Structure 1
């Protein structure tokens, strides 16, 4: 595997699914089939916050992701956060995600608490933590989605 990229986006649209699709487009991953995994970072893999994904392969292929995503009907607000930390010497690490209809400070605080709890379950010595947060205001009459994804490598054929 090459790099795990942290991407994020927000968007509004007339339906829940349309706002999710538009948020994926804002993050650069709208043309892939996402497969969610739990939150373990393999050893010796780089994690890089890029904001918007580069071209990761042909449309319709599978992307493995850890996803923090929240959608709300406006008016309101929505936030998603993804935190991560690696064990020493490029060993394995963890992602933790939180998403809710709340402000960015709240999801950032909760995701870091979750990450700390996950670290306490393991016998690894962890380094510093990082966090990415996406927040958006939802206007009346539309749905708004905010998301942060950890995208593992590049796309792969589904069949």
Structure 2
């Protein structure tokens, strides 16, 4: 695996699951089965913020992801943030995710604090961090989901 793509989106719908599905569609990953992993970036892996995923393989296959996701019922706000940085020498790196019913500034501050805390646990020399924040209001009578995903490589068969 040599590429991790960071994608994001929001979606609103009459149910929680439908709003999540709509947010996945906005990010371009609605047709895959997502498998969440913890937040370590392997060495010698490129990370690119792309917004919407390209075609990553056949429908129904598995995608390995780090996921920040918040869903709220309206009226309210859902915010999700994903931060990352890598070693300066092409070594490993970290993703950190934060989400909740909070404003854009609060979720960004919290994800930056989490990433800094994770860095303190490791003896790697880190480069500058990158952050993606997705935030959206939910109108009364609807659910809204905001998400940001780090998608590891291409899809893989489940069966």
Both structures adopt the same fold (TM-score exceeding 0.5) = yes
Match of 2:53, SS state, is: coil
Shift of 1:2: 2.7
**How far apart, CA to CA, are the structure 2 residues paired with 1:110 and 1:119?**
14
Q: Output one character per residue of 1:28-53: Cα deviation in whole Å (capped at 9) or x when no partner.
A: 00000000000000000100000000
Shift of 1:88: 1.6
Shift of 1:147: 0.1
**How far apart, CA to CA, are the structure 2 residues paired with 1:129 and 1:70?**
22
Residue 83 of structure 2 corresponds to 83
Match of 1:131, SS state, is: strand
Match of 2:60, SS state, is: coil
Residue 108 of structure 2 corresponds to 108
1:45 counterpart = 2:67: no
Residue 119 of structure 1 corresponds to 119
**How far apart, CA to CA, are the structure 1 residues paired with 2:146 and 2:33?**
18
Q: Output one character per residue of 1:107-140: Cα deviation in whole Å (capped at 9) or x when no partner.
A: 0000000000000000111010000000001000
Residue 73 of structure 1 corresponds to 73
Cα RMSD (Å): 0.4
